[in-house]
Every structure is written in structure tokens, then in C-alpha cells.
Amino acid sequence: MSAPVEEFGFRSFDRVLPGWRTVPMRRIVMGLACIVSLSLCLIVSAILILNARDAVQEETESAFRLAHESLVRRLPPSHGGRDTMAEAISLAEEIDGLRHVAARILDPDGQPLQLRAHGQFRSEKSAPRWFSDLMTPPVVEASIPITHYPNVLGMLQVSADPTDEIAEVWDDFSIILPVLFLNGFAMLGLTFLTATLLTRRLKSVQAAMAQMREGRLSVRAPGDRLTEFADLAEGVNALASHLQAERAENDLLQARLIGSSEAERSRIALDLHDEMGPQLFALQAAVSHAQAMTAELPEPPAALGETLDAIGRHAVEVQKSARTAINDLRPMLLGEASLTELLAELVAGLRDVAPETRVVLDMDEAEDSSPGELAELSIYRFVRESVLNAMRHGRPTLVRVSLETMPGRPEQIVARVTDNGTGPQPGPAGGCPTPGFGQIGMQDRARALGATYLPPWRDNKLTHTELRMPRP
């Protein structure tokens, strides 16, 4: 399963049931449909075969009893001077020509004296051997002696013959069984179509939820004519609307927080500039005056001169540190110079930080209009953080900073930083790198301002990162 949707407050199914494996719904439905259809076909076929076998047995035994009674009554006596063998043969041929019974003459040794009659009413159709073996009931037969006093001429044997009845049953089964199995296949096809329809509806909702999980909360799950799916889509959309409202409120609060933070940073920067600036200037002036007075002494102490020089150097370093802190809190040119000039000063300062890295600034001439003080600060901090990250982690020889209008979208400014360094280090197990606090801060700031921040990615041996800031 996918990663847990922490943003929405849900936990992954794998966390709730560790070790469980998911199975597609279609596979379960089709498996159950196959089992049910096959079982139904086998059960119905077994019932039909058992009933047909009982019917064949009952029909053939009834015909056998009638034929046996007829032979017993019509067979001539052994002492009446009649040709009993000839009449027995005639009776055997007559009975053998009937349906469901067979008759033949046997000699005293049990050998047949004649072939079966196979009369004109006997069916020429026959069932397959396996079906005949399945449907044939237990053998029912009887033997009647043929005598001519005082001799036994032979035996007239009569037995039940289910061949014709089995052939008729096979005619019915050859139609019923295919229809039954075709019905099973039709059920499978209907189940497959139903499962496909349900799966597609679920996938449409899942696709919408996947986009929501990626942060696009304006996406909505499509409606449906099926009540259950319509209710599901309505619930998902209600959740998305609620999350969208919560995110908008959070972004508004964060935007206010950013504004308050920037105002506080600006106040602190002004306080440092107004308070420390004059004091540092006075300190440097006092040191210079002390050095001048020391120089006028006939024999100035060497330690005193060295001490005054150290105080002067430290005062200069403190002034530089104060300027750096003030510039970090709020760029000195902000509100007084254009964004182009602000970035040009930043790039010049970054060149001094890493002389071995060449930093190039590419500006679109159309980017003279100010996108707003807060947006300028965000672009400034994005460029500074991205260039410093590239220098710190990638050790590039060339860093290119560009500011341009996004093609096809003139209402959006794109700030891009590209370097030829080694790129971000891979994360655990070779995965995506774990974002640092700087990137997380840029993501939060960008979302609060309605901008889009793209974390560093590799392309053609170069590392790119972007900030897409909308114009006010």
C-alpha cells in the first residue's frame, strides 16, 4: 500500500494490520463466481443424472416385468404335440423387437442359438460409452426353460435393455448440459462486467483521493448514478472541502505570522541599525581620536598603540557582523531598490563567500515591476538559501540564478537556481533526500503566499530548484 496520509490524519492500513497482504476485489469476486458457477453446474448435473438413472431403471424394470409375464403365459406346454422350440424362437424374436427388453434362445449348455432380433422399433441412436456406463442400472434378467417332454431343449432368456432409454436421455442431456454450462459462463461474464464497472468507479475515487493526498485539495471525486458510489464521492468531496477550508485558514494564519515575523525582523534590524550604528561610529571615532592623541606624545607607549589598534580592528569586525545580522533580518535595499538590484547585491556578497564558485545572475528585463515586499523577501531568501545549500553540499564551480516570467503564465514569476555540483545526497536506503529545515521553511512560506516551491532535482548532470511566485 501507499504511504500513510499523515496530512489528512489517517494511518496506513499496513500500520493497522501489519503483515497483511491486500488482494484485488476483482480477483476475489471472479474466484467466488467461478467456484459458485462450477459447483452449481456440477450439482445440477448430478441431480439430473441421478433422476434420469432412476427413471431408466424404473422404465426398464417395468418393461421387463411385462415381457416376462407375457412369455410365461404364451410359451407352449411341453406335452401338447406342438413345436415348442419354434414357438419359443418366434416369441423371443417378438419380445426382442420391443423397447427396453431383450430376449434370446440358449441351448442346454448356455450358448446362444440365435442372434438378437433388433427389431424395427429399436432406436439407431446411441449414447457415448461413458454415459451408458453411468446410466446403466443393475442387470435384471430371467430364464424360462423350453421343454418337449421329456427333454429340455434350451432356455429362453429375457432381460431388461436400457439402451433405447439411455439414448433418449442422452438426447435431452446433450441439450441441457451445454445450456447449463453456457449459463455458468454467462454468469461469469456478468460478474466480470460488474466487477470491472465497480473497480472503475472505485479507481476514479481513488485517483481523486491520490491527487488530494499530493496536496491538490481542489480536486473533487466524480459523481455517480449508483447510490453507494454517489455517497462515497460525496463523503470524499466533503472531506476535501473541509481540508481545503482548514488549509486556507492555516495558510492565512501562516501568512499573517510571516507578515508579523517580517515586521518584527524589520523592527529588530532598524533597532540594531539605529542603536548600534551610532555607538559603533562613536567608538571608532573615539579610537581614532585616541590614536591621534597618542601619536602627539613625545614617547608614546608601544602597548598603548597596539591596544588602540586592536580596539579599532575589533570595532570594524563588530560593525561588519552587525551589518550582516541586519541584512539577514532585512536586506538594507528592500523598499529602496528593485528586486534586480537586491539580487545583484546578494550575488555579489555570495561571490565573496566562496571565491572558487562562479555565481551568475540572469534577469529578464521585463522583471522590473515589484511583486510586493513580502514576495521580494521570499524570492531573496529562496535564492540565498538555495545558493548557500548548493555551495555547502554540492561544491559546484558554477551557480546560475535566473528570474523570469513563466512561459504562458505572465502572472507568475519563476526564480530558479541551477548548479553543476554533485547535487543533494540521497536519503535512507537510496531514496529521496530528507528535506532540511531550510527547505521545510521555504515550502511553508511558499504555500502561505500561494507560491509553488520545487525542491532540488537532478537533470542532465545539473541540480535545479525553483520558486514560482504569483504576482499580486
Residue 285: pLDDT band with limits 50, 70, 90: confident
What is the structure's pLDDT at 418?
92
Reduced to 3 states (helix: H, G, I; strand: E, B; else coil), residue 443 is: helix
Percent of residues, the chain, with pLDDT higher than 70: 81
Residue 310 has pLDDT above 70, yes or no: yes
Please report which helix (H) or strand (E) contains residue 324, including its range: helix 302-329
Helices (H) and strands (E) in the chain, counts: 10, 8
Selected residue with higher pLDDT from 184 and 257: 184
CA–CA distance from 272 to each of 17, 299, 322 (Å)? 57, 40, 7
Segment 373-397, tens digit of pLDDT: 777 878 888 888 888 888 888 888 8
How much is the pLDDT for 157? 87
Domains (range + CATH), the chain? 25-187 (no CATH), 338-470 (3.30.565.10)
Mean pLDDT of the chain: 78
pLDDT tens per residue across span 322-345 = 777 766 766 655 555 677 777 887
- The answer to whether residues 53 and 134 touch, using CB atoms and an 8 Å cutoff, is yes
Rounded-to-5 percentages of helix, strand, coil across the chain: 60, 15, 25
Looking at residue 417, its pLDDT comes to 92
- pLDDT score for 273: 65
**The pLDDT value given to residue 120:** 43
The sign one gets for the Cα dihedral 65, 67, 72, 78 is negative
> How far is CA 186 from each of CA 130, 179, 284, rounded to the nearest angstrom?
27, 10, 98
pLDDT, position 339? 75
| pLDDT for the residue numbered 384 | 85
Q: What is the pLDDT of residues 31-85, one digit of tens each?
A: 888 898 888 888 988 898 899 889 888 988 898 888 888 888 888 776 666 777 8
Q: Tell me how far apart the alpha carbons of residues 325 and 319 are, in angstroms, rounded to a whole number.
A: 10
Tell me which of 44-53, 227-236, 447-456 is least confident: 447-456
Position 194 pLDDT exceeds 80: yes
Q: Quick one: pLDDT at residue 9?
A: 42
Q: In the predicted model, is pLDDT for residue 2 greater than 50?
A: no
